[in-house]
Amino acid sequence: VSAAPWGSASIVTISWVYIRAMGLAGLTKATQVAILSANYIAQRLQDYYPVLFRGKEGMVAHECIIDLRGFKKITVEDVAKRLMDYGFHAPTVSWPVAGTMMIEPTESESMKELDRFCE
């Protein structure tokens, strides 16, 4: 990364410091919380939006992808911009499927914030 013409050596350093600071137990816990949070959001939103790419038991990974293609006059970009109006970081849109939104809650998001997002 840092050897690329437009790369930044600080990216590697920041990642290394995070991994060292968290340690094995911390990274494991962060992963577990991120997966639980994504599944919580998927469960909260499944009655309102189709949730794509679930596993055999209906679970998602560390992210959930909701399908917004059913809306006719509102685009996925409109929804992302509206979330920004409420102070949320804009989710990944239209990837891996056009018209969808990838929601990736991090391990640092509180239940209160997850609920605020879902509401």
Q: Residue 63: pLDDT above 70?
A: yes
Q: Residue 40: pLDDT above 80?
A: yes
pLDDT digit string, tens, across residues 18-28: 999 999 999 99
C-alpha distances (whole Å) from 3 to each of 6, 9, 13, 14 are 8, 8, 13, 16
Q: Residue 8's pLDDT band (boundaries 50, 70, 90)?
A: confident
- What whole-number distance in Å separates Cα of residue 6 and Cα of residue 101? 29
Sorted by where each starts, the structural domains of the chain and their CATH numbers stand as 9-118 (3.90.1150.10)
Residue 102 has φ and ψ, to the nearest 5°, of: -95, 115
